Amino acid sequence: MSKEAQNYSKNRWVVLIASCLINLCIGSLYAWSVFAGPLAEHLSAVMGTKVASLAVVFTIANSVGPITMISGGTINDRLGPKWVVFAGGILFGAGMILTGFATNFSMVVIGYGLCVGLGVGLVYGCTISNSVKFFPDKRGLAGGLATASYGVSSVLVPLIANMLINRFDVTIAFKGLGIVMMVTICLAAFFIRPCPKDFKPDGWNPTIANQKKSFPDKNWQEIIKDPIFYILILMLSCGAFSGLMVISQASLVAQRMIGLSVAVATTAVSVLALNNTLGRVLAGYISDKIGATKTILAVFILSACGLMVLFLAGAGQVGLFYVGISIVGLCFGSIMGIFPGVTAHQFGAKNNSVNYGIMFIGFAAAGFFGPTIMSNIYENSGNYHNAFIVAACLAVVGIILTLIYMKSNSMTKK
């Protein structure tokens, strides 16, 4: 092996660590529930009109990500990930800062909904796909660690944000975090290197160590003609639906359904976030051992069980509730940790930046429909139980799709 290739084998860990640090910053997107209440109060005071809810801002931020994931993926494949991540850091930080200056709803939508959401898409797509390319021998683990750092943010950032909000106010929290995260992302971007074509880690022989050989490289025009792509994107949507649905209103569910106080209900958010993070690493590691498809099948089965536990939980049943949200968080994290590697395996690593961006449309759809359906069900019925039934049914659909995917691939390889 050449000296350059040996250096890449060592430095790939630096790239992964830098990617994790960057994702730790952009993962603050999931801390929105901490900001939403104080920001609504701030806008109400400034505008002189009561602002009831800012939930749509979180929906917009999640929905626009694929736009920059796809466009940024194209630039990444041509120019390398460093400048794409750098630009994403500027956009993300500027969005946070602009939100701190917001005096009306439109400014919040532009700052957080659009700038932060589009910035996350630029950064997340590059860091995840590039990390997976560097670890063809450990795709599940690399994808799991890179996405886990994104999940860790939803545990750490709320603590910091609450401290800043309580000591100063929500506007200072947005501005301060925006500046720190912009600087951190932009500096860490200079440690991100593009993975060389056909990279093989030192001492790794794919013909021996990896019998599950990837399929030939396909570009985005080819994958949208492949029926397997539509099976996978639906699997991703089904897998992300329940997690995004519960994450969007975890504290409210704990208060309204179980009867927990506002202070205690914040624990539910932390439990969900911790299991989300654990699932990304654990499932990534397991998928490298037994295969991604078998792991996904097990995750869907477990997810359906967890959602039924939540369906059965009622007022005062705190233990049952925590078991349910722990399982949902674990399964959501597992899906998010596995899918970057699955995409690279199925359609090749060469164009994974763009391909995973297109695949992420499935996540954006879940990010829109999950919270929306849950809110509508509560408004119409006064409880959340039917929302858990809907999500459980989608988990069953996920099981069926996974079995179809397994059958299709076995036929393709014959």
Query: What is the rounded CA–CA span in Å between residue 95 and residue 337?
Result: 26
Q: What is the pLDDT of residues 9-21, one digit of tens each?
A: 778 889 999 999 9
Query: What is the rounded CA–CA span in Å between residue 280 and residue 145?
Result: 7
Percentage, residues of the chain above pLDDT 70? 93
Count of CA atoms in the C-beta half-sphere (13 A) of 404: 14
Q: How confident is the model at residue 390 (pLDDT cuts 50, 70, 90)?
A: very high
Q: How does DSSP assign 118-166, residue by residue?
A: HHHHHHHHHHHHHHHHH-TTSHHHHHHHHHHHHHHHHHHHHHHHHHHHH
**CB count, 10 Å around CB of 144?**
31
Residues sharing a CB contact under 8 Å with residue 180, sequence separation 6 or more, in sequence order: none
| List of domains in the chain | 1-196 (1.20.1250.20), 216-407 (1.20.1250.20)
Q: Side chain identity at 399, as an amino acid letter?
A: I
Predicted pLDDT at 52: 64
Phi, psi (5° rounding) for residue 25? -75, -50
Q: Which CA distances in Å does 23 have to 83, 126, 246?
A: 16, 10, 22
Predicted pLDDT at 349: 72
Contact 271, 325 (CB under 8 A): yes
Predicted pLDDT at 6: 52
Say if residue 303's pLDDT is above 90.
Answer: yes
Say if residue 48's pLDDT is above 80.
Answer: no
Contact 229, 357 (CB under 8 A): no
Q: Nearest CA to 302 among 243, 231, 375?
A: 243
